Amino acid sequence: MINSLPSPLSRRKFCLMTFVACGVLPSAAAAHHSFAIFDQTQTTKIKGVVGRFAWTNPHVTIYIDAPGPPPQRFKIETGSVNALKRTGWRSDSIKEGESAEVSFHPLKSGDLGGLLIEIKVASGTLTGGG
């Protein structure tokens, strides 16, 4: 007699292939990255002007324009919107054009950016929340 029910292993393979085919796993993996890209043994400090404040998930991002020569734009990542809200941040906590002093863990790649430790702006000092 032929077994009409697939084995548990076959069912798992089928489910996994279905998820992959639907794009669930690739989109979930692309939505978040590890903090391993940051050198958490180093701290960098810069002063500049907030060029952009992106209150978005998966990570709130602050772009800081530092004077030169040449002028440079740093991309500073923080925690998620929910994590930052729990520590007192709001979508208007940082404003474009205001002066900022930023401490962060730099990217291991050497690119201009990193993981926020703290930012000092006119309204006070905020921490990374990640």
Structure tokens at 65: 């324009």
Domain that holds residue 77: 35-127
Give domain status of residue 20, yes or no.
no
Q: What contacts 6, CB < 8 A, 6 or more positions away?
A: 14
In sequence order, what DSSP letters do the residues of 77-107 get, joined into one string?
Answer: E---HHHHHHTT--TTSS-TT-EEEEEEEEB
97 located within any domain: yes
Query: Over the stretch 59-90, which tens digit does the pLDDT of each residue have?
Result: 999 999 999 899 999 999 999 999 999 999 99
Does residue 13 form part of some domain? no
List the CATH number of the domain containing 45: 2.40.50.140
Residue 1's pLDDT band, with cuts at 50, 70 and 90, is very low
- Rounded to two decimals, what is the model's pTM? 0.73
